[in-house]
Structure formats: C-alpha cells, structure tokens
Amino acid sequence: MINASDKDIVVAANVTKQFGSLKALNDVSLAIPFGAVQCIIGPSGSGKSTLLRCINQLEKIDGGAIWVDGELIGYRRVGDELHELSDAEIARQRLTTGMVFQRFNLFNHMTVLQNIIEGPLTVMKRPRREIVAEGMALLERVGLAEKRDSYPIELSGGQQQRIAIARALAMKPKLMLFDEPTSALDPELVGEVLAVMRDLAASGMTMIVVTHELGFAREVASDVVFMDKGEIVERGAPDAVLVAPQHARTRDFIAAVLK
Amino acid sequence: MSAVTQAGIGRDLAGVAGLRIVPKRFYGRWVAAALILLALAWVVKAFAQGQIAWPVVAQFFTAPAILGGLVNTVIMTVCAMALGIVLGVVFAIMYMSPNPVLRGSALFYIWFFRGTPLLLQLLLWFNLALVFPTIGIPGVMEWRTIDIIGPFMATLLGLGMNQGAYTAEVVRSGILSVDVGQTEAAKSIGMTRLTTLRRIVLPQAMRVIIPPVGNEVISMVKLTSIASVIQYSEILRNAQTVYYANARVIELLIVSAGWYLIVVTLLQIGQYFLERFFSKGRGERRAKPQIAEETGA
C-alpha cells in the first residue's frame, strides 16, 4: 500500500491491467497531490498511457483500486463487496477529469465553438447564452477566437490540440489528463501547444502529463515518474529524475530521447 | 555540355511561345456520339409509329385510379422505409451489444429476413391468420388476425422487416466507420453511451449511411409493386385493374413507369441535399451554422 492523504487528487493502489498476456500495468501505486503537475515519461509500451486511461476509466483495471478526488472509481462499496457502477455513474465520475488525446479527437461534424460547448450543453444542460460566452473566453485563452466557426479539418494539428484543451476545460475539471499531447504534431507546432499547457500549469491546474517532451517536463513538472514495462521505475523532482537518474533504465531512456 | 543544351531549349522556347494551339481531335468520340444519336432516333421513331395510343397514356396519367395507386405507393414507401430504418438502427445496436442474447437475436433476425425471398415473406404475413387465428395478449386483449393483418399491414410488415435486416448492416457499417477516438472524447467530457451515440457517433455515421439507404429507398419505391400479389392497391396493381378492363396494357404500363420515374427523380434530388447536409466538416458543405453570441447584458 502507499501513503495517501486528503491532499491527493489521484491515488492509485496496486493497479494491474492486462491486455491478453501482456501486463500493461504491474502493481502500480502512485499518489498525486492537488495542484501538482505530474509528468510521466517512459518508452512506448511502458504503460504510461494505459495508467492515464485507467484514471479516466477508458480502460477497466484488472486489480487494485483508483481514487479520484477522494472517490473510488468504477465501483461502489457495499459492505465487503464492490458493486460495478452504471454507465451514468461512470459518466458522472468522469466530470472530475478532463482529457486531451494524442490525436486530438475533436468532433469532426461540429464547428470549433460547437465542440467546446457540446459538453456544457448536453451533459451539464446549462443555458446556451452562458456557455457561449464562456466558450469564447476559453477560445481567447488558447488564442483561437477567430476560428470559432471553423471545422476541425480546416485547422492545423496545433490549433486542433489547443481547441481540444479548451473543450476539456469547458467542463471545469479539477484534473487535466494529457496523453502525449504533442506526439502527433509537426515539430514546428509543438511549441504553441506547450505554451497553452504551461499557461494552464501556471494558473494552478492539477495536471498529469504523459509526454516525451523532456524540456517541458523539466521546466513545468512538479514531479516526474519514469515508467518501464508496466512498472514505476523511478520518481522524484524533475532535476533528480531527468538530470541525475538513479536507475540504469532511466539513464538509457533519457540518453536515447536526447540523442 | 549542359550549358549548351539549356541554351538550345531557351532558343526553342522563344520561337514556340507565340504559336497558335490546335486542340487534339477525338475522332472516336465523334463516331460514337453519332451512332448513339442514330440509335436514339430509331427508338423514338419506333415508339412514335408503334401500336401505342398516346392519347390514352395522357388520359390515364392523371386518372383517379392511377393517382390513388400512386398515393398508396408513396405511403407504403414512406411507412415501410421508416419501419426499416427504425428496426435497422435498433438491430445494428443490438448486434454490437456485448450481451449474447441481444447479439444473438439480432443475428437471427438478419439471417432470417435476408435469407428468405421477400415475396415469400409477404405471403407469410398475409396468411398469418392460418397459423394464429387471434393475436394479442391472451385474456387481456385479443383481436382476430384477419381484421388486423390486411393487405396494408401485411405489406408494411413484409417490406419493413425485410428492409430492417438490410438497413441494420448499413447502420452497423456506418457506426464502425466512426473513429473510436470520437467515442473516447465524448466519454471524457462525461457523456453516457446513449448520448454519445445520439450526439457524436450517429451524426457522423450518417455520411456513410445515407448513400446506401438512399439507394434502398429508391428500390423500395419499386419493391412496393410486388405487394400487388396480396391485393395492396398500389400503382401497378391499379394499372393492371384498369388494363384488364380496357385492354390498353402497354399504355397503362407506360403510365406506371412514368410515375415511378418521377418519384425516383424527386427522391434523388432529396438525397443530394441530405448528403450535403451530413458531410459537414468533411470539406464540401453548405454555409457554416452560426452560433449566436448572446452575451447577455
């Protein structure tokens, strides 16, 4: 077990996840405090994206338990049994978290502004007038107010990802999950997305960022986790993990990325 | 060496630039076009001189019996297609359910209704009273089957359920065509499975669903004609009734064909606009919807 307190927004305890014979997560325990910018790095297939997807219940865990914002996710405890939650209850639990995907996943049949207000409109059922104003404010914040009536296909990858961030923020989450947000971008577009994320971190948002951008991690992260083969190998302050790693596997990975 | 060649090209370019361009001539196309026009003229001449009483065609084109049949054809097309689409969506979703009973019954439905001839299904529905003299909930309410399943109901059930089996596969392929990332994004903003389907997946699946369904609406218009065998008075059956009386067989068949073509043409125009509507965010589309910026005060 791990030490967890009320100050933690995410507590993962002995989490395992299996895809067929592959152990994607092997007894992973991790507590992340409110206000943290937690970066997770590691080679592909190390389980870092899987961990993020488990926190948002896009994957179902096979063992262990995860609490988000003090609430056990996916199950309700009844005596000494765990009852699976209904679709609607899981949807409600997901309101705590916002998620940004590697491939943006903007709704292709909706304009930029429609994408942003879709959640507040259909999930929170808030009045359109309020949420359009809020949506425009979010678009200003990511610097794309003039694109409000464009369709995703008309935007660059960097612009799409900034819209995706605004869409997640429109639900006013307590925690933002970023699943390799810059990996699908052309190199010259990475900066604009990182700038928005940097701004978000500075505003005090709690963030979990799976990334290969070691520079960003070093600059913005409050804490860095290195994962390999479904396990947490090393954890610590950015300078400790990224500059003077304790484990050979971490050293090899960082050397390979920087090469 | 290369400098010399470049100089040569440069000299040629200067000489060529001002010359007149004569387009290529396509002699084969001209011959083909001429042959087709000739054949067309021959067909027109044959019909003009043939044993067709064109005034009779004109007279019966708007005859009450024909127009009544036309209305019934259109009503049946709309009802059977509506039933087919509803069943298609329901069975497509059942087919994709993890529940083996739901999935199994969808598979059985598609297997049965795609696997037997439509005409046979119509006859089965029409003769249902032979098997079940009464239908309903025993003891609560019951009706005589023969009162409920007349030509209209039998045709509707036959065409609609058969259509549903085909439409289920079309809808399923449409749903599968939508990237799984769209579903994940919808879930991540707190949508339930049903809202995701309604707001995100189905609207995008429509782009793939509309062309084949449009195709099926058009074949439905014509399929209604087989309901003439179970006495549903659609346009072809009414035309037959008329020509049994006046022996103007070809004239009345021409009248029917004319009406089918008119209905199908209108449907094709409708399909064009529907496709344009659902291709939103896919390059070609109509004017963008504007969201009013109602900022309150």
Residue type (1 letter), A39: C
Helix crossing, B64-95 with B235-246: angle to 10°? 150
- Beta carbons of A123 and B190 less than 8 Å apart: yes
**Containing H/E element for B106?**
helix B100-115
Look at residue B284 and tell me if it is in a domain: no
**Are B266 and B253 a contacting pair, CB within 8 Å?**
no
Look at residue B4 and tell me if it is in a domain: no
Mean pLDDT of chain A: 94
Residues in chain A with CB shorter than 8 Å from the CB of B186 are 107
Nearest to B169 by CA among B89, B103, B98, B80: B89
Buried b (16+ CB within 10 A) or exposed e, B168-199: bbbbbebbeebeeebbbbbbbbbbbbebbbeb
The two structure tokens encoding residue B241 = 């009734």
- Beta carbons of B189 and A151 less than 8 Å apart: no
Q: Scanning every residue of chain A, which has its alpha carbon at the shortest distance from the alpha carbon of B183? A: A105
Q: State which residues form the domain around B181.
A: 70-233
- Domains contained in chain B, number: 1
**pLDDT grade, residue A158 (50/70/90)?**
very high
Q: Provide the edge-to-edge strand list for the sheet that holds A22-33.
A: A22-33, A8-19, A63-68, A71-72
Predicted local confidence at residue A216, as pLDDT: 93
Nearest to B84 by CA among B208, B181, B213, B191: B213
Look at residue B38 and tell me if it is in a domain: no
Is the minimum CB–CB distance between A142 and chain B shorter than 8 Å?
Answer: no
**pLDDT grade, residue A2 (50/70/90)?**
low
Is the minimum CB–CB distance between B97 and chain A shorter than 8 Å?
Answer: no
Residues in chain B with CB shorter than 8 Å from the CB of A114 are 289, 291
Predicted local confidence at residue B282, as pLDDT: 73
Tell me the CATH number at B209: 1.10.3720.10
Please calculate the CA angle B273-B275-B280 and round it to the nearest 5 degrees.
Answer: 105
Residues in chain A with CB shorter than 8 Å from the CB of B195 are 122-123
What Cα–Cα distance (Å) separates residue B24 from each residue in A30, B34, B179?
74, 19, 47
CB-side neighbour CA atoms (13 Å) of A12 = 24
Classify burial at A191, counting beta carbons within 10 Å of its beta carbon; exposed 0-12, middle 13-18, buried 19 or more.
middle
Look at residue B211 and tell me if it is in a domain: yes
Residues in chain B with CB shorter than 8 Å from the CB of A105 are 179, 181-182, 184-185
Q: What is this structure's pTM?
A: 0.80
Please list the ranges in chain B whose pLDDT falls under 70. 1-14, 283-297
A80-84 average pLDDT score: 92
Q: What's the gap in Å between the CA of A50 and the closest CA on chain B?
A: 14
Residues in chain B with CB shorter than 8 Å from the CB of A152 are 281
Q: Scanning every residue of chain B, which has its alpha carbon at the shortest distance from the alpha carbon of A176? A: B188
Q: Compare CB distances from B181 to A103, A114, A130 and report the shortest one's residue.
A: A103
- Beta carbons of B189 and A117 less than 8 Å apart: no
Please calculate the CA angle A254-A213-A171 and round it to the nearest 5 degrees.
Answer: 140
Torsion of CA B82, B84, B87, B88, to 10 degrees: -110
Q: How many angstroms separate the CA atoms of A26 and A17, rounded? A: 7
> Looking at chain B from residue 150 to 189, which residues have their Cβ under 8 Å from any Cβ of chain A?
179, 181-182, 184-189
* CA A164 distance to own-chain centroid: 12
Q: What's the gap in Å between the CA of A23 and the closest CA on chain B?
A: 22
Predicted local confidence at residue B292, as pLDDT: 52
Nearest to B110 by CA among B128, B95, B125, B93: B95
Predicted local confidence at residue B9, as pLDDT: 58
| Residue B67 CB neighbour total at 10 angstroms | 14
- Beta carbons of A168 and B189 less than 8 Å apart: yes
Q: Show Cβ contacts of residue A45 under 8 Å, excluding neighbours closer than 6 positions.
A: A229
Q: Scanning every residue of chain A, which has its alpha carbon at the shortest distance from the alpha carbon of B293? A: A132
Look at residue B162 and tell me if it is in a domain: yes
**Are B197 and B118 a contacting pair, CB within 8 Å?**
no
Q: What are the boundaries of each domain within chain A?
A: 8-258
Q: What's the gap in Å between the CA of B95 and the closest CA on chain A?
A: 19
- Beta carbons of B292 and A132 less than 8 Å apart: yes
Q: How many angstroms separate the CA atoms of A233 and A249, rounded? A: 8
- Beta carbons of B281 and A98 less than 8 Å apart: no
How many residues would you count in chain A?
Answer: 259
- Beta carbons of B192 and A136 less than 8 Å apart: no
Q: What's the gap in Å between the CA of A222 and the closest CA on chain B?
A: 25
Question: Residue B161, SS3?
Answer: helix
**Are A170 and A164 a contacting pair, CB within 8 Å?**
no
Q: Look up residue B230 and give its DSSP letter.
A: G
Look at residue B44 and tell me if it is in a domain: no
Residues in chain A with CB shorter than 8 Å from the CB of B188 are 56, 58, 94, 97-99, 101, 168
Task: Specify the CATH superfamily of domain A8-258.
Answer: P-loop containing nucleotide triphosphate hydrolases (3.40.50.300)
Q: How many angstroms separate the CA atoms of B65 and B250, rounded? A: 17
- Beta carbons of A118 and B199 less than 8 Å apart: yes
Is the minimum CB–CB distance between B191 and chain A shorter than 8 Å?
Answer: yes
pLDDT 10s digits, A221-255: 999 999 999 999 999 999 999 999 999 999 999 99
* Chain B interface disruption, residue of A56, A92, A107, most B CBs within 10 A: A107
pLDDT 10s digits, A11-67: 999 999 999 999 999 999 999 999 999 999 999 889 999 999 999 999 999 999 999
Nearest to B209 by CA among B249, B239, B167: B167
**Are A57 and A73 a contacting pair, CB within 8 Å?**
yes
